[in-house]
Each structure stands twice: as structure tokens, then as C-alpha cells.
């Protein structure tokens, strides 16, 4: 029967199974950390408090939780992390994004001729 609870453990995307000759088969669900692509075991009702990235809308693993807190809640998604490694940038580098009020300037706007003659 599907579990309809809004619980992170119901969104598990990884699976661990271990076979112990004495205890038999043991199974665990895992979640994927959006900041490092690592997986961590999730246990429903464990009471463990984890960091949550509002940008990624996902729970973070323990190591990334520490980095997240130390970097002032700066989101470095795994795609950005891989980009940083590939281009020799610091692991926590995030490009600056500037929002200008009024109009969204796109690259093609610069090339467009002015509607006012002579300008």
C-alpha cells in the first residue's frame, strides 16, 4: 500500500541492502544530497534534524549541512560544484546574479537598433 504521508522518507531514491548470515537481509532507503550527489540513509521517525536547502528544496547530507551553515546558507548545487572542479574554481564558488528593476536586459537587446533615429 503506498505511503501518502508528506515525509522525506517517502521520496527515497536510493536503496541499500545488506545480507547478514545471522540477521538476514537488512534494507535501508537513501536520499540524495543535492549539493554533493552523495547519498545518506533516512529512517522515518528517527528524529534526526537535518539542514534543508530552500533553493534545491531538498534535505542535505551531514557534511554539506556543515558547509551550508559555515558558508552562510549559500547554495552550491552539484552541477555548480562539478563546474567549479572542471574549471579550477573554489568549491564554494557561485556566480553573482544581479537583478535590475524595470526591464530584463537580454544579450539581443544590445544589438537591436534604437527606434529613435540618430541615437
Partner 1 sequence: MGRRYTGHGTGAVGTDKSLLTLISATTIRPCLYEIITGCEATPADQATDFKVVRFTAVGVEGSGFTPLAHDPADPASLADYGSGVFGTEPTYTASAFLLQWSQNQRVTFRFVTIPEMGFLAPATAANGIGIKSSSATGTATHEASACHVE
Interface positions with partner 1 (CB under 8 A): 13-22, 30, 32, 36-40, 63, 78, 82, 85-86
Nearer to partner 1, 3 or 27 (CB): 27
21: alpha, beta or left? (left if phi > 0; alpha if psi -120 to 50): alpha
Nearer to partner 1, 69 or 85 (CB): 85
CB of 8 to partner 1, least distance (A): 15
Q: Which helix (H) or strand (E) holds 41?
A: strand 39-42
CB of 91 to partner 1, least distance (A): 9
Query: What is d(CA 32, CA 58) in angstroms, rounded to the nearest whole number?
Result: 9
Nearer to partner 1, 4 or 17 (CB): 17
CB of 118 to partner 1, least distance (A): 49
Query: What is d(CA 92, CA 69) in angstroms, rounded to the nearest whole number?
Result: 12
CB of 18 to partner 1, least distance (A): 5
Nearer to partner 1, 18 or 69 (CB): 18
C-alpha cell at 42: 533516512
Report strand pairing: 39-42 vs 24-32.
antiparallel
Query: What is d(CA 83, CA 81) in angstroms, rounded to the nearest whole number?
Result: 5
Amino acid at each position: 500500500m503506498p505511503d501518502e504521508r508528506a515525509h522525506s522518507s517517502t521520496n527515497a531514491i536510493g536503496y541499500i541492502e545488506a545480507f547478514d548470515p545471522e540477521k538476514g537481509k537488512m534494507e535501508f532507503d537513501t536520499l540524495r544530497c543535492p549539493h554533493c550527489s552523495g547519498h545518506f540513509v533516512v529512517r522515518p521517525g528517527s528524529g534526526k534534524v537535518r539542514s534543508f536547502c530552500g533553493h534545491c528544496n531538498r534535505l542535505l547530507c551531514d557534511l554539506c549541512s556543515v558547509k551550508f551553515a559555515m558558508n552562510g546558507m549559500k547554495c552550491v548545487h552539484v552541477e555548480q560544484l562539478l563546474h567549479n572542479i572542471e574549471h579550477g574554481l573554489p568549491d564554494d564558488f557561485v556566480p553573482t546574479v544581479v537583478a535590475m528593476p524595470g526591464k530584463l536586459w537580454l544579450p539581443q537587446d544590445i544589438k537591436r537598433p534604437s527606434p529613435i533615429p540618430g541615437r
